[in-house]
Amino acid sequence: MVLLKSFMLAGLTAVVAAKSAVLDLIPSNFDEVVLKSGKPTLVEFFAPWCGHCKSLAPVYEELAHAFEFTKDVQIAKVDADAERSLGKRFGVQGFPTLKWFDGKSDKPTEYNGGRDLEALTAFITEKTGIKSKKKLAPPSSVTYLTDATFKNTIGGDKHVLVAFTAPWCGHCKSLAPTWESLATTFANEPNVVIAKVDAEAENSKATANDYGVTSYPTIKFFPKGSTTPEDYNGGRSEEAFVAFLNEQAGTHRAAGGGVDATAGTFAVLDEIVTKYIGGTPLTDAAAEVKKAAESLKEDAQYKYAEYYIRVFDKLSKSDSFAAKELARLEGILKKGGLAPTKLDELTTKTNILRKFVEKVTGKDEL
C-alpha cells in the first residue's frame, strides 16, 4: 500500500510539473531556444534558495500561461545557481534578474519594472504587440511610483498617501487588497493620490532609502505642497485609512466607495435651513444663504453651496420640492448602475435635501 501511494504521489508530481508553461534553460539548449529561434524571450535568472525568486515564481508561471497560446513569444527561466556559466555569460549579479531577448540580438536588456502580473504582461505587450488572453483584473487605481516619478508626484497640489512595500513581505500582501480598494474609493478625488513604491525594485529603491524606509510596509503621508512626509501609524483597515484621509484632505469618502452623509453639506448653511424651518421667511433665508455662500467660493465643494441656493429658489415655487426631489433621487440611486461620478453627485444632493426634509418632518411632528 505504501509503495502504491508512493507511485501515485510520484505520478501526481510529474503531472503538476508537466503543466508548467515556463521553459527551462540550460547551457546546452539556451542558444537554440533563445538566440537562434528568432522569438522574443523573457528570461528569469533565479536561485532556488532566493526568497524574492520564490515570491516571483507563481506570478511568473501565471505570466507564462497567459502567453502560452502564442508561438511568437517565450517565457523562460535559468537556475543560475546550478548553471553559473549562463549567469556569468549575461552578467547576472543578483536574483532574480529578468532579461529581455528581442529575438534578433544576443545582447539582452534588463527588465527593471514591477514584478506583478499586470506590469509584466504590459511589458511583453509593449515589446511584441501581443496581448495576453488571460482576463486580467480591472485596472488598478493605485499610482505606482519610481525614482523618476516620485518627486514629480509629491509637493504639488495633491495629498499623497504612499505605501513602501516589498514583493516577499507577507504583511504587504495582506495590505494589497485593502490598498487597491482604498485607491478605488478615492479615484474620483482629484486632489488625493493613493500610491505604492516597490522599495526593493532597482528603479525605486533609491527613493525608499531617501526616506529611511527599513521595514515593510511603511506608510507615509505627504500633505499637498509638502515634500516632508508624516508617518502613518494608524489602523490598516480601509475604514481607518478613509477616516485619516478625510480628516487630512477635507474629503468626504465612505469606505467601500461613494461619499459619506456629510458630503456637500455646510454647517453655516444648515443653520440657515434650521432658522427657515423655525419660521424665518423664505425670502429672508434665501438671501441669507446666498450671502453666506459667497464666503465659501474657495471651498472644493462650493458647487454644492450653490445647490442650497437652488433648493431655496425651487421652494419659492413649490414648498414640497425638497421632499419630492429627495424621493426622485433616492429612486434613481436605488436602481443602481450609475457611473461613480454620478453616484457621488446624486448622493451629495440627497444629503442636502435631507436637511430640509428632516427639519420639515420634525416641525410637522411638533
Q: What are the catalytic residues?
A: 50, 53, 169, 172
Q: Bridge-partner residues for 74, per DSSP?
A: 41
What does the alpha-carbon distance between residue 157 and residue 221 come to, in Å, rounded to a whole number?
Answer: 14
Helix 302-315 × helix 321-335 angle, to 10°: 130
Residues 6+ apart with CB under 8 A from 300: 191, 250
Extract the runs of DSSP E, i.e. beta strands, from the chain: 23-25, 41-46, 74-79, 97-101, 109-110, 143-144, 159-165, 192-198, 218-222, 230-231
Q: Bridge-partner residues for 44, per DSSP?
A: 77, 98
> What's the order of all strands across the beta sheet hosting 192-198?
143-144, 192-198, 159-165, 218-222, 230-231
User: What is the number of other CB atoms lying within 10 angstroms of the CB of residue 2?
Assistant: 6
Q: Bridge-partner residues for 143, per DSSP?
A: 195
DSSP string, 344-356: HHHHHHHHHHHHH
Residues 6+ apart with CB under 8 A from 193: 143, 153, 158, 159, 160, 161
DSSP string, 87-133: HHHTT--SSSEEEEE-SS-SS-EE--S--SHHHHHHHHHHHH-PPP-
Q: Bridge-partner residues for 194, per DSSP?
A: 161
By the 10 Å C-beta count (0-12 exposed, 13-18 middle, 19+ buried), 244 is classed as middle
CA 182 to chain centre: 7
What does the alpha-carbon distance between residue 346 and residue 273 come to, in Å, rounded to a whole number?
Answer: 20
